[in-house]
Structure formats: structure tokens, C-alpha cells
Structure 1
Amino acid sequence: MRVTLLGTGDTTGTPTVGCDCATCERARERGVERSRFSVHVENDRTGEALLIDFSPDFRHQFLTQDVPLPDAALVTHIHFDHLDGLGNAYRLFDDLPVHATDVVDPVTEESVADTIRRKYDYLDRVHVHGHDPHERIRVCGLDVRFVPVDHPPLLCYGVVVEDPETGAKCSLTGDTSFGMPAETRSALADPDLLLADAIVPASSCEHHPLGGKHHDESGVPRTFGSKHMTREGALDLAAELDADRTRLVHLAHFYPADEAFAEPLAVDGETYDL
């Protein structure tokens, strides 16, 4: 199972358009990007490819990264930086199964699967399949589960991808605070590779109107505001889950420039063979 990080940034990406902050300038100098979030998983046993989330940067990602177009896809939630790239499917696919959860969100009064069906009803070659949280489904020869996380006000899910033949496991937290349910933590545990939301360092919480929460024993916030983990929170979660390897993703350009490209913060194009 080969995992390629197509997009490792938050909703504006790094460099951010029109921004001349030190971090965006450092990214330009280094020739690296953190485009909007997306992960590509290739099953080297079957030759099939799975896409997790449709970044608005879909076209750029598939033109610049040496990966095949997906045979199927998953959508974790309906925020534009995870969904709106689906429009790029127009004219590219003869048939594209898209998997999402079928739980009705009280905020939107429809499930993630329903939102995709409604918003992209003009894509007649896209077929949406709804699933229950924690339901094991076989996609591209891989076992996949959506696991509930904490990203208020909308329902949002992490993803567990396992190879039933080799036992390789990749866990994605999805967009979440540190306060995800115990059952989800158990499902994500013991991965060969953990991709964890870590939007900013904990020091940035002083600039958020809500500050931070889920503080550790030393008072360091593991959640930024209410719906994303801090770097410190993501690393604490990685230790709790006993991840063999951790990459921090969904990163904002608010990291100080001297910290923004330090390990284990990811950049676009990284690949991992599990």
C-alpha cells in the first residue's frame, strides 16, 4: 500500500494567495507547497487507487504528482477544501464510486452522502454510496472505515485504511479536535502511518477568540479553538495511538517560519510504502 500526500494544507494552503508572511516566503524559497487536503492510496497488489477527499487543488495535484487517477474515493465531510474538487471529475471518469457516511447531520439536515448527491447531481458518472460509521467496507481491495471525530458544528469523520492481505494500516484523523470519541481512538490505534490534523502550534491559541481546550497536565492546549488539533495535541494523540510513523497535515501558514517545515510536519508529495 503506497500512500501519497497530495495536499497537506488547510483551507487557504501554503503559500497562501497574496500573503508575504515569513512562512509563505520560506515555502516559496524552498519550492514546496501545502495545497488543500487530499490523500492518495494505491493498492500495489491490485493496481487500484483510492482518493481520500477531493481538494479544490485536484487538477494541480494530479498534474504535479506521479499518481494514477482514483478508481474510487472517500469524502470525510462537506467543507469546501475537502469536497469541492469533485467537480474536476467532469469528463475524467467513466464511473467513479464515491463513499461517504449516511448519518443525517442536524445542522444541514442531510448526510454527507446526501450533500454530495445533491451538490453534484450533474455528474452522472459519479455514484455515491452511503455507509454507517465504523462499518467495514471493501474499496479497491482495501478495508476502509469512517470513524466519527469532533469538528463542530458539522459531522466529520476520520478514516482507517487497512490491507487485508498484508495487515498494513493507515489512520487519518480527519479534521478534528483532540476530543474524539474513545471508540474512534481505538479504531485509529496502532497504525503504520498516522496522518493527524495539526493546524497550528499551541502558542497560536492565544490569538483565537475561543483560545484553546483539552489542555495537557502542563496547561498546553491540544485543541485550537474548538475544531482542530494543535501540533502538541496531534503529537500527544500519536503517542497515545502508538503510531509507528506520524505526519502532521492540514497545516496553516500561521506556523512560525523557523518551525513550519520541521519534522514531523508534512509537505505535498511525500510518499510512504506500508
Structure 2
Amino acid sequence: MRVTLLGTGDTTGTPTVGCDCDTCEAARERGVERTRFSVHVENERTGEALLVDFSPDFRYQFLRESVPLPDAAIITHIHFDHLDGLGNVFRVLDELDVYAANETDPQTGESVAETVADDYDYLDPITVVPTTPLEPVRICGFDVTLVPVDHPPLRCYGLAIEDPETGAKLALSGDTSYAVPDRSREVLAEPDLLLADAIVPAALCDAHPIGGRHEDDDGVPRTFGTKHMTREGALALADELSATRTRLVHLAHFYPAAEAFEEPLALDGEIYTL
């Protein structure tokens, strides 16, 4: 299993357009970036590639990393930075199965699968495959399980991707607060590599209109607002899942420049072989 981090940033990415903050300036000086979230997972046994989420930066990411085009894809939720790159398959792919959860979201009245099918009904190459969370499905030779997480007000999902022959396991928290349900934690547990949402350090919760949540015993918030984990929350989740290795993703440019490029914060283009 070859994992390429195509996009490790949040909604605006780093550097952010029009921003001259110290972190964005440091990223420009270093020649590094965090584009909008997407992960490429290649099955070297079968020669197939699975894409997790369609970043609006799809075209640039695939040209930059020279990875194979996907044979199948998964959409974790319908926020634009995870979905709107799907239109890039037009005239690029002849066919593509797109897996998405089949649970109805009370906020939208549709499942993620239904929203994707409705919004991209003009794309003849795609076939949306409604998928039941917490039930493994074989995709590109991997056993893939969507797991519910906590990203209000929309339904959102993390993923466990396992190679049934080698036992290699990749876990993705998805966009989530620290309140990942116990059943989902069980599925995500003991990965060789965990990609965990860590939008900002906990110290920045004071700047959020509603602050932080899910404090640890020392009062450190593990959730920033309601939708995303702090760095400290993501690392706590990694410990609880007994992750062998952890990379923090979905990172905002609000990280102070002195901390923004420290371990284990990920950058675009990182490659892991599991």
C-alpha cells in the first residue's frame, strides 16, 4: 500500500490566497504547501489506485505528484474542499466508481451518495455507489470501511483501509471533533498510519467564538469549536487508537510560523509505504 498525501490543508490551504501572515510567508520561502485535502492510495499488488476525496486542487495535485489516475474514489462528506474537485474527471476519465455513505443526513435530507449523484449528474463517467457505514466493502483490492465521525451540522465519515493480504492498515479520522464514536474508534484502531484532522493548536481555541471543547484532565481542549480536532486532540486520539505512525492533516495557516512545519504536521507530497 503506497499512500501519497496530495493535499494536507484546510479549506483555504497554505499559503492562503492574498495572505501575508508569517506562516504563509514562511511556506512561500520554503517552497512548501498544503493544498486542499486529498489522499491517493495505490495498491501495488493489483496496480489500482483509490482516491480519498476530490480536492478543488485535483488537477494540480495529480500533475505535481505524477500519481496514477484513480480507478475508484471515496467521498467522506459534501463540503466543497472535499468534493468540488470531482468535476475534474470530465474528459480525463472514461469511468469511475465513487463510493459514498448511504445514510440520510437530517440536515440535507439526502445521503452523501445522493448529494454527489444529484450535484454531478452531468458527469457520465461516474457511477455513485451507495455504501453502508461500518460494513467493509472491497475497493481496488482493499477492504474499506466508512466510519461515522462528528462534524456538525453535516454527516461526515472517517475511513479504515486495509490490505487483506499484507495486513497493512491506513486510518483517516475524516473531518471531525474529538467526539469520534466508540464503534468508529474500534474500526480505526491499530493502524500502521493514521491521518488525523488537526486544524489548529489548542492554544488558538481562545480565538474561536465558542472556544474549545472536550478538555483533557489538564484543561487542554481537544476540539476547536465544534467541527475539528486541535493538534492536541488529534495526538490524543492517535494514542488511544495505538497508531504506529501519525501525520496531522487538514491544517490551517493559523498555526504560528514557529510551529507550522514541526513534526508530526504533514505537508503535501509525503509518501508512505505500508
TM-score between the two structures when normalised by the length of structure 1: 1.00
What is the identity, as a one-letter code, of the residue corresponding to 2:156?
C
Q: What's the % identity of the aligned pairs?
A: 72
Report the Cα offset of residue 66 of structure 1: 2.3
Q: Distance in 2 between matches of 1:271 and 1:61?
A: 13
Cα-Cα RMSD: 0.4
Residue of structure 1 equivalent to 2:28: 28
Residue of structure 1 equivalent to 2:81: 81
What is the identity, as a one-letter code, of the residue corresponding to 2:266?
A
Q: Distance in 1 between matches of 2:202 and 2:63?
A: 35
Report the Cα offset of residue 48 of structure 1: 0.2
What is the identity, as a one-letter code, of the residue corresponding to 1:184?
S
Q: Distance in 1 between matches of 2:189 and 2:101?
A: 21
What is the identity, as a one-letter code, of the residue corresponding to 2:197?
D
Residue of structure 2 equivalent to 1:240: 240
Residue of structure 2 equivalent to 1:186: 186
Unaligned runs of 5+ in 1: none
CA deviation map 1:134-159 (0-9, x unaligned)? 11100000000000000000000001
Residue of structure 1 equivalent to 2:38: 38
What is the identity, as a one-letter code, of the residue corresponding to 1:42?
E
Q: Distance in 2 between matches of 1:10 and 1:223?
A: 15
What is the identity, as a one-letter code, of the residue corresponding to 1:49?
A
What is the identity, as a one-letter code, of the residue corresponding to 2:161?
V
Report the Cα offset of residue 64 of structure 1: 0.3
CA deviation map 1:179-236 (0-9, x unaligned)? 0100011111000000000000001100001100000000000000001000000000
Residue of structure 1 equivalent to 2:152: 152
Q: Does 1:271 align with 2:271?
A: yes
Q: Distance in 1 between matches of 2:4 and 2:200?
A: 22
Residue of structure 2 equivalent to 1:129: 129
TM-score between the two structures when normalised by the length of structure 2: 1.00
Q: Distance in 2 between matches of 1:107 and 1:238?
A: 29
Residue of structure 2 equivalent to 1:197: 197
Q: Does 1:50 align with 2:55?
A: no
Residue of structure 1 equivalent to 2:139: 139
Unaligned runs of 5+ in 2: none
Residue of structure 2 equivalent to 1:108: 108
Q: Distance in 1 between matches of 2:142 and 2:30?
A: 35
Residue of structure 2 equivalent to 1:91: 91
What is the 5 A alignment of 1:8-27? Answer: 8-27=8-27
Flag as ranges the 4+ runs of structure 1 deviating above 3 A: none
Report the Cα offset of residue 131 of structure 1: 1.1
The DSSP-based 3-state class of the residue aligned with 2:45 is coil
